[in-house]
Amino acid sequence: MSELQVSEQQAAAADRVAGFIRRHGLVTPAVLYLESMRPLAFVGSQFMHVMSPAVTTFLSSSDWDALAHLLQDRGGLDYMLTRIEADDAEIAHG
């Protein structure tokens, strides 16, 4: 298995989503949801491509597509969880 390659756009989009999740107090539900959806991560990433025209309210369509591509890789889900938890810990500790 190859190491996950995260583009700058994917990392920036993941950080924006993590910040949005933290600002709205959704860290625990988001982590639980992502963990529970682990077996379906690839299917979910494909669904994100279908939904991309409808989600441009807080993320650009190119960022949304970048996240969908990130989540196609098994390591992408772990990366997203790490960014959400790191963003939450950064704010909690200072």
pLDDT digits (tens, 9 = 90+) for 21-38: 999 999 999 999 888 888
- Residue 68: predicted pLDDT: 87
pLDDT at 94: 65
Q: Supply the pLDDT for residue 12.
A: 93
pLDDT number for residue 26? 92
Minimum mean pLDDT range among 55-59, 69-73, 84-88? 55-59
* Sequence spans of domains, the chain: 8-92
Nearest-5° Cα angle at 77, 72 to 83: 130
What single DSSP character describes residue 53?
Answer: G
For residue 2, the tally of other CB atoms under 10 A from its CB is 6
- The average pLDDT across 55-79 equals 85
